[in-house]
């Protein structure tokens, strides 16, 4: 927080110096994301330790989750000129039931650390394989390997403790909360899995996570109107039209500006009741998706989504509705999905994440006819 306040003051003093301003903006964004991650991880750890954290068990496609993790980490690795490889072996059962959000969280935590603690030009790999089937369950092994700085034997004994960080000249320069691996270990335990670690200073680190998932022979599909998009389709936001529910004036202004920067447009509704009323007269092709704030006065996003899904406008059965909320916990994701939303994004909305989310959906308004 001190960094954010300090950088804001520096920006005020250098409004006429674009070069300095850009540097301050970059640092301000980094400090803001670090603070947001810290808050989210403290809240997540608090829920885990109090026993309030839950798993959201839903059907999902393993390959789709790995592709999403790949997309996020590859961007981080490119910035550090690192080689990132993903190999998927012998997936006999791709459709399973489990908490896909928590699975991604585990893999992203481990892989993000690998990126941060591997030098420029280093290499990182993720290997996924199905190693056993027992009855209605399949066992998967996820292996993350890097040739980074490694860890001492002494620190390895404390890596899963809250606020634990190795203290040396390299790690002290890397921003982190010291909660990521503690959360990861607790999630793996919640999921009934095992996490193991091998590391050597100066040579690198290897994590293995073994998890069991119930086999789901039926294809893991979302709402009937939403079809998985081919992985090679990478739709930009350019030309897309969004109906947005956001009660906070500043958040609404930021969202609208960000979308317009990507060539998209949006109509802002100030609460759930307003977006429901607006959608009653929406015509086919008028909007591509709805971005729905969850916590709003009067009618919240959950209620608004249920009313849109069950309303008189047949497009309500099909249009993708994406939750926007500061809460990114499993139980919040479950509430969103149970209400009829298709996906869940945490605030502030990352437009790259929004593009990746929309990549999973193809919406054809003309294909839906009144029942």
* Residue 192: pLDDT band with limits 50, 70, 90: very high
* 117: pLDDT strictly greater than 50: yes
- Per-residue pLDDT tens over the stretch 204-250: 999 999 999 999 865 433 333 333 333 444 458 889 999 999 998 88
Q: So what's the pLDDT on residue 20?
A: 80
CATH of domain 241-367: 3.40.50.2300
Asked whether the beta carbons of 34 and 175 are under 8 A apart, the reply is: yes
pTM tops 0.75? no
- Per-residue pLDDT tens over the stretch 35-78: 666 666 676 677 777 777 788 888 999 998 998 899 889 988 99
Higher-confidence residue: 8 or 192?
A: 192
CATH of domain 58-215: 3.30.565.10
Span of 38-42, 291-295, 347-351 with lowest mean pLDDT: 38-42
Beta bridge partners of 141: 129, 210
Q: So what's the pLDDT on residue 62?
A: 93
Element (H, E) at 333: helix 330-339
- Per-residue pLDDT tens over the stretch 121-178: 999 999 999 988 778 899 999 999 999 999 999 889 988 887 666 655 454 445 555 6
* Stated length of the chain: 371
Share of the chain above pLDDT 70, in %: 80
What percent of the chain is helix, strand and coil (3-state, nearest 5)? 40, 20, 35
Q: What is the mean pLDDT of residues 246-267?
A: 89
Q: Distance between the two ends of the chain, CA-based, in angstroms? A: 54
Asked whether the beta carbons of 233 and 209 are under 8 A apart, the reply is: no
């Amino acid at each position: 927080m001190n960094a954010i306040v300090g950088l804001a003051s520096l920006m005020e003093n250098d409004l006429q110096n674009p070069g300095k301003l850009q540097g301050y903006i970059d640092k301000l964004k980094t400090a803001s994301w670090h603070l947001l991650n810290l808050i989210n991880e403290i809240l997540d750890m608090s829920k885990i330790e109090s026993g309030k954290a839950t798993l959201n068990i839903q059907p999902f496609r393993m390959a789709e989750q790995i592709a999403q993790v790949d997309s996020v980490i590859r961007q981080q690795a490119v910035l550090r000129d690192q080689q990132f490889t993903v190999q998927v072996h012998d997936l006999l059962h791709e459709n399973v039931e489990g908490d896909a959000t928590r699975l991604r969280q585990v893999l992203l935590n481990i892989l993000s650390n690998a990126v941060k603690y591997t030098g420029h030009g280093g290499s990182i790999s993720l290997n996924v394989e199905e190693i056993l089937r027992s009855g209605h369950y399949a066992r998967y092994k996820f292996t993350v390997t890097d040739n980074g700085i490694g860890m001492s034997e002494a620190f390895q004994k404390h890596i899963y403790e809250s606020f634990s960080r190795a203290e040396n000249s390299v790690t002290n320069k890397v921003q982190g909360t010291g909660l990521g691996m503690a959360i990861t270990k607790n999630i793996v335990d919640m999921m009934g899995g095992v996490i193991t670690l091998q590391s050597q200073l100066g040579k690198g680190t290897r994590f293995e996570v073994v998890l069991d998932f119930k086999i789901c022979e039926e294809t893991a599909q979302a709402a009937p109107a939403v079809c998985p998009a081919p992985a090679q389709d990478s739709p930009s936001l350019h030309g897309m039209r969004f109906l947005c529910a956001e009660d906070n004036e500043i958040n609404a202004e930021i969202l609208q500006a960000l979308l317009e920067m990507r060539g998209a447009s949006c109509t802002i509704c100030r609460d759930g009741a307003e977006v429901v009323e607006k959608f009653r007269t929406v015509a086919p092709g008028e909007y591509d998706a709805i971005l729905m704030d969850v916590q709003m006065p009067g009618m919240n996003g959950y209620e608004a989504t249920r009313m849109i899904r069950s309303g008189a406008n047949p497009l309500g059965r099909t249009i993708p509705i994406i939750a926007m909320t500061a809460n990114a916990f499993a139980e919040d994701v479950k509430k969103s999905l149970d209400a009829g939303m298709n996906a869940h994004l945490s605030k502030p909305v990352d437009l790259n994440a929004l593009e990746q989310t929309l990549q999973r959906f193809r919406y054809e308004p003309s294909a839906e006819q009144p029942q």
